[in-house]
Amino acid sequence: LLALVLGIFIGHKIAVLPFYLLPYCLIISFIVLVLSQVNRLVVYRKPIFSVSYYFLMFFVGLWIIAVHNPKYNLRHFSHYSATQLIGIIDDEPILKTNTIRFPVRITSRIDSQGSAPVEGRVMVTLLKDTLTSQSLHYGDLIVFKNAIHDAVAPLNPKEFDYKAYLSTKGIGHQCLLTAADYKIIGSNKGNFILK
């Protein structure tokens, strides 16, 4: 557990890691782990097994971070230009005084060439004073203008780090929309148990 947590912690804290080497590190650690059980290595079996297991768990922790990092996911929407995006509302919208906020799981992008499947999540904020009578719910499929930008880090010390908060939910981008910028094109696309 300690090695796994250490891998996750280092993956979060260090921005530049050679993540392309992770599959090789995982495979080598696993092979050494299996080979440590060969009878010829009886004298060193326990220490080799222990060390290779710790390394395997450490690399698994790094891998968990890597697969959720948009920089290393080639299907992430941020790698492509698009005029519009299609996604599913991934949680119940939160109503505030002037806004409605909810995460969207992006499924497709639309550009001049047509549409193509993509992945990723974005936090969408709708201005309440521009809303029509349409009500939004978990599982609604929406198409919206690509006005996405990176989540912004806090400008003042000791201020709440909304960017870090979003990153714990696998979200690195946010978007501000008005009623004219989106349209509901489907419903009940979410997980029926969560609903």
For strands 141-145 and 84-89, give the pairing: antiparallel
151-181 burial by CB neighbour count: b if 16+ within 10 A, else e?
beeeeeeeeeeeeeebeeeebbbbbebeeeb
Rounded Cα distance between 140 and 144, Å, is 12
Read off the pLDDT of each residue in 6-13 and give the average, rounded to a whole number. 83
Model confidence pLDDT, tens digit, residues 17-52: 566 777 888 888 888 888 887 766 566 778 888 888
Rounded Cα distance between 191 and 195, Å, is 6
